[in-house]
Chains A and B, each alone.
Chain A
Amino acid sequence: MTRQVVQADGTRIIEKDRAFSWKRFMFQWEWLLLLMLVIVNIANISISPNYANTNNIMNAMRDFLDKAIVVFPMALVILLGEIDISVASTMALSSVVMGMAYQAGVPMEFAIVIALLVGAACGFVNGIILVKFKELSSMIVTLSTMIIFRGIASILLQTKSVGSFPAWFKTLGWGKVGPVPIILIFVIVEAIFFIYLVHYTKFGRRTYAMGNSVMVSKFSGIKTNRIKLIIFTTTGVLAAAAAVFLASKMGSVRPDVAKGYELDIIAMVVLGGISSAGGKGNILGCILSILVIGFLRYGLGLVNVTSQVIMIIVGALLIIAVAIPNLKSSFGQAKWIKNLSNNIKKC
C-alpha cells in the first residue's frame, strides 16, 4: 500500500506504508496495560478466594464506573492538548442543583435534566473562555472555574445536604439488569460511542489533528473553535451524568461531593496512553486503564490498605505512565531502555 504524504515544506512524496511487524504490534502500550490488568486480577484472586465470581466483579466495577463516565470525554480534551481540572467541581455543582430542584418540588426526571443542563453550561463556560481567549492556557482557566463551580455549590447548599430521593432514583446507581449493573451498561454504550466517534468519524480525526497543531488544523479548514467548544461542553454533560449516578449511589448530595476525582480521571486517561501533549493515544487504552486502576483500588481495599497509601500508588502510577515514553531522552545510554522506548514511541 502506498499513500501521499505532505512534508513540512509543502512538497508531496509517495510513501510506502510501514509493513506490519510483529515487533511493533507486540510493543503497543495496550499490551502492557493488559498485562497489568491480568497481574492485578491474579493478585486479587490470590488474596480473596471469593473474588472471582461474576457477582463480586460486577459489584467491584460499580465502585469506579462513575469516574469512568468522565474518562472518555476527558480523553478527548487531552487529545486536544488541553486539560480540564474542573470536572469534579462540575459534578458537585450539577448534583447540588439537581438536589435543590428536587427539594423545590421539581419531579426527579426533570431534576436530572436540569443537572445535565447545568453540566453543559459549566462545560460551555470553560469552552467559550478558551475559544475567546486563545492565549490563556486551559489549565489556569479550568483551575479558576474549578474554584468557582464548587464555590457556587457551597453558596447554594452551604453545609446542608439534600437526600430522600424517590425510590426509583436509587436503582440508577444500585439496580441491575440481570447480573449487569445499569451503570455498566451506560459505560459500555458510552465506550462504543466514543470508539466510533474518535476512531471512525471526521470529528475524531479532526480532534487528533488539532492535538498535533491547532494552527495547522485551522489553516486546513477545520472549525477549531467549534470542535473545542463541543468537546468541553460534552465533558460538562457527561460529568453531570456521572454526578447523577454518584448521587443515586450515595443517596444524598453535598457541595463537597467528588472532591479529588479530577486526579483519578486524569490518571486513568494518561495511564491509558493518551499523550498529555495531545494528538496521540486511543480509547481502547483508556478502557483498559479504567479497569486496571479500578481493580487495583478494589484489590488494595481488600487487603486493608488505607486510602492514603492508595493515593500514593495512584500518584506514582500516573507519573510512571507518563515517564516511561520519555526514558530514552532521560537516560539515553542504556541500550535496552533505548530499544524499549523507541518501540513504544513507534507505536
Chain B
Amino acid sequence: MDIIKFKRFFSDNIREISLILVMIVISIFVQFRSGGNFFTGGNISDLLTETAILAILAVGMMMVIITAGIDLSIGAIMALAGMIGTTVLKENKGISPIIIILIAVAIGIVCGMINGTLVSRFKILPIIATLGMMNIFRGLTYLVSKGSWVLQNDMPSSFLGIATGKVFGINNLVVMALVIYAIGYVFLNYLRTGRKIYAVGNSEESAEVSGIKTKRILWLAYTIMGAIAGFAGLLYVCKFGAAQGETAVGYEMNVIAACVLGGVSISGGTGKVQGVLLGALLLGLLNNAMPLINISAFWQEAIRGLIIVLSVMSNALIQRNVEMKALRRRNI
C-alpha cells in the first residue's frame, strides 16, 4: 500500500523531483569546479537575492501562461513602473517608499488592464497584443525619462533599503518572494478564482459553458501579471540603483524560461506553483554558477536559450510518455 502511494507521489511529482536532482547535481559539480566557492553563506544568499525578482515575476507569468496566453510586455512594464516611480521620488525627496510602491503597482495594473482588455475583449492573439504593447510601454518609458537616467544618488536611503534591508537576517526581496509564493499557492490551489484560471486554460469553451465568465478571468490574469510586473519593476530599479529606458530589456524571456522549466505548459491548463519556484531557482542557480566556473558572458545567453528549448522538448517527451501509459492502462 505504502509503495503504491509512494509510486503515485513519485509519478505525480516527477518534474519537481527531477528539477531538485538536476539542481543538486549542478551544485555539487560547481562546488568542485570552483574550488568550494559555491556553498558559502554569502554566495547562497546572493543567489537567492538575485533570483527573487525573477521568481516573483514567474508567478504572474505562470497565471498568464496557464490561460494559454503569454505576456511579452512585462520587461517594458517593469521599466515604465520603475521609471515613473523613481521620477516621482526624485521630484519629492521626502515621500514614503510605500507610496512609491503603490504608484508602481498602480501603473503596472493599468498596463496589465490594457493587455487584458486587448486579449479578452478584442480577442487579439496574446503574443501580438503584448508584442505591440511592449513597444508602446517601452516608448512611453523613453518619453517619461527623456533619455536620462535616475541614479542611485537621486534615491533616498529609505527607498534603497527596500532591496538591501533584512528581516530576521533574510533579505527583504527573498521574504517578499516567499510571501508572494504563499499567496499564489493558496490562490491557485484553494480559491475559486484560481481554479477558474486553470479551467479557462484547459478549454475556454467548456469553461464558458459551465458558467465561468471567461473574459473576466482572462482579463484578471493579465491584470495580476501587470500588478506583479509593476511591483517587480520597482524592486529591480531599487536593487540595481538605476532607472533608465533600457531597464529589464529581454527580461521576459528569463521569466518565460523559468515557467517553462517549471513545467508550465505553453498550450495552457497545466502548471504548479512549486514547479515554477523550482524553475526560477534552477535558472538563478545557472546564472550564479556560470561565472563561478568561468563560462564567459558571451556563452551564457546561448546556453540559456539551449536550456529552454531542451526543457520544452523533454516536457513534450514526458507528456507523450504519460499519455502512452494512460492508454495502456485503459487497455488492461
Q: CB within 8 Å of B: which residues of A?
A: 83, 129, 133, 135-137, 139-141, 143-148, 150-152, 154-155, 158, 263, 266-267, 270, 276-277, 306, 308-309, 311-312, 314-316, 318-319, 322-323, 326-327, 329-330
Q: How far is the CA of A135 from the CA of B316 in the complex (A)?
A: 7
Closest to A157 in B: B298
B312 in contact with A136 (CB, 8 Å): yes
The answer, yes or no, to whether B118 is at the interface (CB within 8 Å) is yes
Partner of A322, one of B128, B301, B304, B312: B128
Q: Which 10 A-B pairs have the closest CB atoms?
A: A151-B302, A147-B305, A315-B135, A148-B305, A312-B139, A151-B301, A308-B142, A144-B309, A144-B308, A318-B132
Q: How far is the CA of A327 from the CA of B312 in the complex (A)?
A: 35
The answer, yes or no, to whether B258 is at the interface (CB within 8 Å) is no
Known: A144-B309, A330-B122. A139 touches B133 (CB 8 A): no
Across-interface contacts of B299 in A (CB, < 8 A): 151, 155
Rounded to whole Å, the gap between the CB of B194 and the closest CB of chain A is 24
Interface secondary structure of B, over-half rule: helix
The answer, yes or no, to whether B138 is at the interface (CB within 8 Å) is yes
B308 in contact with A147 (CB, 8 Å): yes
Partner of B132, one of A140, A147, A151, A267: A267
Please list 17 pairs of residues, one from A and one from B, whose beta carbons are closer than 8 Å in the complex, sorted by A's number. A135-B316, A139-B266, A141-B309, A148-B309, A151-B298, A151-B299, A151-B303, A154-B298, A158-B298, A263-B135, A266-B131, A276-B125, A308-B143, A309-B143, A315-B136, A326-B124, A329-B123
The answer, yes or no, to whether B34 is at the interface (CB within 8 Å) is no
Q: How far is the CA of A135 from the CA of B315 in the complex (A)?
A: 10
Closest to B301 in A: A151
**How many B residues touch the partner, as a band?**
35 or more
A319 in contact with B267 (CB, 8 Å): no
Partner of B135, one of A146, A311, A330: A311
Q: How far is the CA of A141 from the CA of B143 in the complex (A)?
A: 33
Q: How far is the CA of A145 from the CA of B267 in the complex (A)?
A: 19
The answer, yes or no, to whether B260 is at the interface (CB within 8 Å) is yes
B127 in contact with A129 (CB, 8 Å): no
Partner of A308, one of B123, B139, B304: B139
The answer, yes or no, to whether B182 is at the interface (CB within 8 Å) is no
Known: A137-B267, A143-B256, A266-B128. A151 touches B312 (CB 8 A): no
Rounded to whole Å, the gap between the CB of B295 and the closest CB of chain A is 11
